[in-house]
Amino acid sequence: MANLLHLNLRSVFIPSLSTRRHSSAAPRRHQFRVEAKVREIFMPALSSTMTEGKVVSWLKSEGDQVAKGESVVVVESDKADMEVESFHDGIMAAILVLEGDSAAVGSTIALLAESESDIALAKAQASGSGSSGSDQKTEAVTAPVAELEPVSAPLLVAAVAASVSSPVVKVASTHPASEGGKRVVATPFAKKLAKEFNVDLGRVVGSGPMGRIVAKDVELAASSAAVSEKPKVAAVAAASTVQLGSVVPFTTMQGAVSKNMLVSLSVPTFRVGYTMTTDALDALYKKIKSKGVTMTALLAKATAMALTQHPVVNSSCRDGKSFTYNSSINIAVAVAMDGGLITPVLQDADKLDIYTLSRKWKELVDKARAKQLQPQEYTTGTFTLSNLGMFGVDRFDAILPPGTGAIMAVGSSRPTVVGTKDGRIGMKNQMQVNVTADHRVIYGADLAAFLQTFAQIIEDPKDLTF
């Protein structure tokens, strides 16, 4: 669901002189309404945990026309960068919060004038923004109206991720968003790709709404320019220059993670481990890897299949008084990012085939690392996977995310000497998983039964490809 951002239309009502001369009992026929046609753009709440946001970039400059449906600003929430799209026409009159600066949710970050004649009014209001907006006295002549009550005129703005597809609009060689080459308008993801591909956005023709440059435009330009090297996401653990002994404030994402971890400590949890053989799973992965299937998708699919038989492990307790058997199986998977952690969600993982699930996972990871996930793409998980096996970690415990019932920590698959049922010694690939669960809802027997089912699917994975 798109988050809504409200912009106020400030109106001051002044009665006419003729109205003032009459007694209160006399009919008031010609009351004038004086409106200051300046709208305040507020910092939106893009998630339930967001208390402040940072302006990543303004897509409109002061004096620019703003069309209905056009994005005006990119805001960084605690998990993603999101565009704020206007539902109304106007002129960007004053920007109060500069790029890189933060503001509390609900505070004014810019002023939108309805017409050019209202720009000076907005400028005056911006210069006095230190005082309460309700104290601003403005005047403008309007037609007489018969109504006596103030007319509310809220302006809605929807926050939408830059990566959401829009109807393609074919444009000429000079796209309107570039304003004759003075400024290039592109989605944050497109800018990121342009930097990685070393593509000059000034030479790219946008195919998005109002000529905005989108990711596929950059990819096309990179291809035509024979850029052969694909962009690579830097590893989170890559060496970087740091000043030893320095105190570094949390980023927005780190602050959100910190708050969630403190909430998690209030939940009584317990842990259960299980070791399983992965020879059959490894063989299946090797067989279908070339088709785009990832190990993460295989694990998510196996988890979802097991959860269909153990719904209590997919349940959640939020108020400490009741719990919910979730109607969907949404597998959240932890992804490390530079400066934080996010859990993109594979929704309805039990209903998707492994190939669709793998494609969906790749899309989610790309969007997560570009900070373009929609809130519903990282807040709707019902069960969480954390896989450090890819880094060679053989076992670990994971912290339960707030609002979910369980999280499974997956270790690496390693050759292990084991005893067979006939008393012989053999070599098998085995991995260990540890599940952390909310003990208010899920008990030891529940987890044991779930892990037995999960192990059966891993050790005989033929159903994963159906």
Task: From the candidates 22, 88, 310, 439, give the one annotated as an active-site residue.
Answer: 439
Is 30 an annotated catalytic residue?
Answer: no
> Is residue 420 within 8 Å of residue 384, measured between CB atoms?
no
How far apart are alpha carbons 82 and 75 in whole angstroms? 5
* CB under 8 A, 24+ apart: contacts of 190-196: 190/162, 190/214, 190/215, 190/217, 190/218, 192/370, 193/218, 193/219, 193/222, 193/231, 194/218, 196/231, 196/232
Alpha-carbon radius of gyration of the chain: 28
Rounded alpha-carbon distances, angstroms, from residue 268 to 71, 92, 129, 400, 438: 44, 51, 47, 10, 6
DSSP, collapsed to helix, strand or coil, labels residue 465 as helix
Q: Which of 294, 296, 293, 192 is nearest to 234 (CA)?
A: 192
> Is residue 371 within 8 Å of residue 80, measured between CB atoms?
yes
Q: In the 8-state DSSP scheme, what is residue 321?
A: S
> Is residue 301 within 8 Å of residue 457, measured between CB atoms?
no
How far apart are alpha carbons 167 and 152 in whole angstroms? 32
Q: What angle do CA 109, 115, 121 make, to 5 degrees?
A: 60
DSSP strands (E only) in 187-235? none
How far apart are alpha carbons 267 and 405 in whole angstroms? 10
Strands 71-76 and 345-346: unpaired
Which residues are catalytically annotated? 439
